[in-house]
Structure formats: structure tokens, C-alpha cells
Amino acid sequence: MNLEAILNKGELTRDDLIYLMNLEDKEGLQKLYDRAYQVKAEYIGQKVYYRGLIEFSNVCVKNCNYCGIRKDNNKVERFTMTEEEILDRAKWAYENNYGSIVLQSGERSDKEFVEFVDNIIKKIKELSNNELGITLSLGEQSKETYQRWYDLGAHRYLLRIESSNKELYNSLHPDDHDFKRRLECLAEMKEIGYQVGTGVMIGFPGQTIEDLVDDLLFFKENDIDMVGMGPYVLHEDTPTAKDVEDNELIKTRNLNWGLKMVAILRLLMKDINIAATTALQALNPVGREMALKAGANILMPIITHRKYRTEYQLYENKPCIDEEASDCKNCLAARVGTVGDEIIYGEWGDSPHYFKRT
């Protein structure tokens, strides 16, 4: 089977996906990206939706082996934005006509935290006359907590599976994680009615192309509405860093794998939301624009105040930490223009897939 035939096929097999992930020649890759962009234009439109990302706390109870803000990294100065600061950012997003925001933080599930989030969701709904969409990215919680937050007005939840291969998942996470519970969380969110987003890290030590293809099939089997996946990027103060043999090689490879994953996923799941993630930009200044060209349709500009950005470093070279939100807005708009997409302001930008499955 040749490339053209695969690109125009209805249903892709596992072997097709492996073939595409192994593409290396420039011309072939360009064909893949062009086809993925064409599918996006047809099913979603040449559009990009924004989610203003508020990374409101780097306090985390977990110790993911790859992550710069893991609990045991005592080089990080921990912060939690006040309610007032978070609401100020949400108001900024609303006034700047961002259709929705994402509230993200390290993981905590104590009562105080849950109630803090309750309150914030309520107040954001109030300050925006119920207009601003709210996506949560707050890790594993009890079903009751997911339900509470949904009832208060959050409607999308992001929880990356990180790797759909249980052994790899366990190797990335110490005993504070349970793969089965992760899957249950995703199922519970769906049952409650959230639009469910998940994703993986691409190219961490020990992961193969076959593993990544199985991640793509995992998204499909689980009928996921949104995917945010990004290249693994080394952070010095983490256990995973020790397994990285040649970081320069990994950086080049992971950018390449990251873009291919986006494009192939667009062929596999034509009507879902796919994010052009910030980690791509850590590897190439125009990494996110390249992802938009390869089929992604979501951008998540960081709108956290500058003073907190340096302490929210999950990986090295995280971009935009010196910028203010307004700089990011203009800078991104110019960048999206270069791709040929239109930024859609003032809409939630829900995944068309969600409406078809519900």
C-alpha cells in the first residue's frame, strides 16, 4: 500500500498508523500534513479556538517522574494564586472575548482545595453572565467532586492518560498512581456529561512508535472528544532526566513525532478538538503553528500573571514565561495568521464530536 492510498482511506488500520508514524522523507511528511490540514478544513473549518490557560497553583501531591513541579522537587517555590487573582484573569479572558478558559493546577483533592475550586467556578460563571466556558485540568478527583464541579458549571475536563500502555504508565509514575483509577476517572467524567479530553506525552524514554500508535487507537476506542498531547521535554530536576541519553536527539525526534501524532490523529478522528500544545513550542519557536498546519485546531494561550510563570515549569525552556497575557494575545494572533486559520473569538468551541456522541 502506498502513501496516497493510505491518506485517502476511510478506516485506518494499526499497520497504516505504524506506516505513517515511520514516515521520514520530507515529501511524504508534507503530504501527510497537507492531508491532515485538508481534513481539519473540511470537518472543523480553517479555525482556531482559544482557551485562556490559568495555571493557578503549582502545589502538587504527586510525584510524576518526568514533571518539574513534582512534590519532591524542593527547588520549586510553591504558589497558589488568590481567588481575587484568578477571577481577575478570568475577567481578562472574558473582556478579551476568549470563549473559554482552562483552570489548571498541580493535583490536590483535600476539602479546602475542592471548596476553593467550587467557589471559583461559581464566581467565574457570575462575572461572565454564564458565558465563559470552563474547562478543568485538576487531575484525579473523586466522582463526587467531578459531579460537584460539573453541577457548578464546568463542562470540559482534561486528564491525560500520559501513556495508554499500563507498564509504561507505571514506569512513569511512582506508587501514588494507579492506571485503573485513571481509566475510571475518564469514564466517570464521561458519565457525568463532561466533554472529555485526554492525551499522552510523546517520546519519553522507553516509549516506541508502536506504543504511540496504540495511544492513538486508545483515543479512538474511548471515543474521546478532545486531545492535548505534547512531546516529552526534559526537566533536569526529575528522575526521568537520568534516562535521557542524548537530549539533542530526543528534542529533534520528539518535535517530529509530536507533529506526526497530531496529523495522524486528525486522519483517525476527524471531528475532535486537537490542541497545538505549548511543549511543541519549547522544542521549536513555531512548533505550535506547525501543529495547526498539521491538523490541530485549539490553542491555549497562558494568561497567568507573569510573576507566577517561572514557577510553573513542568519542563525546560517553557515558552512565554516573560510575557504578559496581552503580549501573548497579539503575538499568537499574528502567528495564527501565518498559518491561514481564523481565530474564533467569543465561542466555546466545543468539539463537534461531542454533539454527535451525545
Partner whose binding site includes residue 259, from ligand 5AD, ligand SF4, none (CB under 5 to 8 Å by kind)? none
Partner in contact with 169, chosen from ligand 5AD, ligand SF4, none, beta carbon below 5 to 8 Å by kind: none
- Which one of 315, 320, 328, 336 is in contact with ligand 5AD (CB under 6 A)? 315
Nearest to 319 by CA among 264, 14, 327: 327
Tell me which residue has cell 507573569. Answer: 306
13-52: contacts with ligand SF4 (CB under 6 A): none
- Establish whether 328 is an annotated binding residue: no
Give, to the nearest 10 degrees, the angle between helix 247-268 and helix 26-43.
40
Compute the distance between CA of residue 298 and CA of residue 304 in angstroms, rounded to an integer.
18
- Choosing from 39, 67, 250, 320, the residue that interacts with ligand 5AD (CB under 6 A) is 67
Which helix (H) or strand (E) segment holds residue 171: the answer is helix 166-172
Pairing of strands 47-57, 100-105: parallel
For residue 160, the partner it binds in ligand SF4, ligand 5AD, none, with Cβ less than 5 to 8 A by kind, is: ligand 5AD
Site for ligand 5AD in 277-296 (CB under 6 A): 279
Inter-axis angle of helices 209-221 and 247-268, nearest 10: 30
Quick check: 60 binds ligand SF4 (CB under 6 A)? yes
If contact means CB under 5 to 8 A according to the sort of partner, which of ligand 5AD, ligand SF4, none does residue 62 touch? ligand SF4
Among 67, 76, 233, 296, binds ligand SF4 (CB under 6 A): 67
Strand, helix or coil for residue 236: coil
105 to 134, contacts with ligand SF4 by CB under 6 A? Answer: 106-107
Q: 331 a known binding residue?
A: no
Q: How far is the CB of 33 from ligand 5AD (least distance, A)?
A: 22
Task: Read off the C-alpha cell for 76.
Answer: 520549586
**Residue 179 near ligand 5AD by CB under 6 A:** no
CA 161 to each of CA 143, 211, 247, 302: distance values in angstroms, whole numbers, following the listed order:
17, 13, 24, 22
- What is the distance between the alpha carbons of residues 277 and 296, in angstroms, rounded to a whole number? 9
List residues forming the annotated binding site for S-adenosyl-L-methionine.
162, 182
List residues forming the annotated binding site.
60, 64, 67, 137, 162, 182
List residues forming the annotated binding site for [4Fe-4S] cluster.
60, 64, 67
